[in-house]
Amino acid sequence: MTHTAARPAHGIGSVKPVGWAYDTAPMIVYWELTNACGLACRHCRATAMPDPAPGELSTEQAIALLDDIAGFAGPGEPLPHIVMTGGDPLRRPDLARLVGEATGRGIGVSLAPAVTGLLTRERMEWMKSAGIQAISLSLDGSTAGLHDGVRMVPGTFDATLEALDLAAEVGLPVQVNTLVTETTASDLPAVYELLRGHTLMQWSLFFLISIGRGSELTELSPGEAEKVLLWAQRVGRDAPFRVKTTEAMHYRRLGAAALLRAGKTREEVEAHPMSRAFGIRDGNGIVFVSNTGDVTPSGFLPLSVGNVKESSIVSLYRDDPLMRSLRDPDTFLGRCGRCEYRDWCGGSRARAYAWTGNALESDPLCPYQPKVGA
């Protein structure tokens, strides 16, 4: 067994050193332990169900996957961080064993539990003692009516706020995820004010991609999305927690543009702490393993490059032609392919695929017109 230092914890997952590349190893492995879940959220990527799906990885297959993930280690190469997600990872009877097997290999673990009756104080105390570095909770509205209307189970709003406070009490860092759609966007300022009254490490605005059950909801227009990102940038300056985005990589363009306008050079921008997020996108720094072992560039880009029951995740991540293309912005098409921000941003490959059927196309959520290379 190889024991290698895990990447330092920083939010759900971890951060790369400035200038880090992702050709040989991802920063985060999102691992869907099961798609069993007691909720039935309207935007669920996993289209979660009450019971585990046939073909879910067995405990032995899951431990073999951990051995493979430990194989990402190399000279000067930190191990990826694992985010155990679902469905509801608390529905895996062998969760404690898998967390122990991961941390025993030096792999950092975060958890994305569903807010159900399984998420008790005892469970949170166990998470803390088991070395789980952070958890994520979803809050999709500032009132019970708005949040429970997305989560489809009454009482989830109150339970989520209770879980948030409980996590603070037991010392578990929390990332709160909030869905951004045409109907939830106007409520974001109220969600922000609500969260300011609680303790969290990070708030992630998840810009809907219309897949799974999420195809029943409507994405923002590019202009509306840009307004939300500018608002997030503004409130993020004074927020008591970090504000980030998921599947809205062009948030980095706004941050980088502000530095360039302030007179920074590209080299100075790349040395800025914000650059730790640069380049991370579906298949580049991120890889996803489904409950049945399929490997995809992310949870929102449903193109399987192989299955961990037959192949090593290391070779699938490093060598698959699709994964290699997704890591090379010079293969991108349209605006993203000629954009001066493509190395730092690169757009959502998942949204490009959902809208056009080609993961290398431009991100349709970004309104930016590149200035160079046209």
Question: From CA 289, how far away is CA 313, in angstroms rounded?
Answer: 9
Q: Give the amino acid at 46.
A: A
Task: Determine how many CB atoms are found less than 10 A away from the CB of residue 129.
Answer: 9
- Residue 24 tokens read as 């040989």
Q: Which stretch binds ligand SF4 (CB under 6 A): 181-189, 306-314, 316-324, 363-371?
A: 363-371
Q: Which residues pair with 374 in a beta bridge?
A: none
Nearest approach, Cβ of 290 to ligand SF4 (angstroms)?
26
Q: Which residues pair with 138 in a beta bridge?
A: 177
Q: What residues between 222 and 261 interact with ligand SF4 by CB under 6 A?
A: 249-250, 253
- Kindly tell me the number of DSSP H helices and DSSP E strands found in the chain: 13, 11
Q: Which stretch binds ligand SF4 (CB under 6 A): 65-73, 86-94, 282-290, 359-367?
A: 359-367
Nearest approach, Cβ of 85 to ligand SF4 (angstroms)?
25
Q: Report the residue number, 306 or 347, with the smaller CB distance to ligand SF4.
A: 347
368 binds ligand SF4 (CB under 6 A): yes
Nearest approach, Cβ of 198 to ligand SF4 (angstroms)?
32
Question: From CA 298, how far away is CA 279, in angstroms rounded?
Answer: 14
363 binds ligand SF4 (CB under 6 A): yes
Question: From CA 13, how far away is CA 109, in angstroms rounded?
Answer: 8
Question: From CA 286, how far away is CA 317, in angstroms rounded?
Answer: 9
Q: Which of 341, 359, 360, 361 binds ligand SF4 (CB under 6 A)?
A: 341
Q: Report the residue number, 278 or 288, with the smaller CB distance to ligand SF4.
A: 278
In this structure, the strands spanning 281-282 and 135-138 are unpaired
Nearest approach, Cβ of 259 to ligand SF4 (angstroms)?
14
Q: Which of 336, 350, 359, 360 binds ligand SF4 (CB under 6 A)?
A: 336
Nearest approach, Cβ of 332 to ligand SF4 (angstroms)?
7
Would you say 118 and 38 are in contact if contact means Cβ atoms under 8 Å apart? yes
Q: Report the residue number, 113 or 285, with the smaller CB distance to ligand SF4.
A: 285
Nearest approach, Cβ of 182 to ligand SF4 (angstroms)?
20
Burial class (CB in 10 A: 0-12, 13-18, 19+), 198: middle
335 binds ligand SF4 (CB under 6 A): yes
3-state secondary structure (DSSP) of residue 334: helix
Nearest approach, Cβ of 236 to ligand SF4 (angstroms)?
18
- Residue 1 tokens read as 């067994």
Catalog residues that contact ligand SF4 under the rule CB under 6 A: 249-250, 253, 335-336, 339, 341-342, 345-347, 362-363, 366, 368, 370
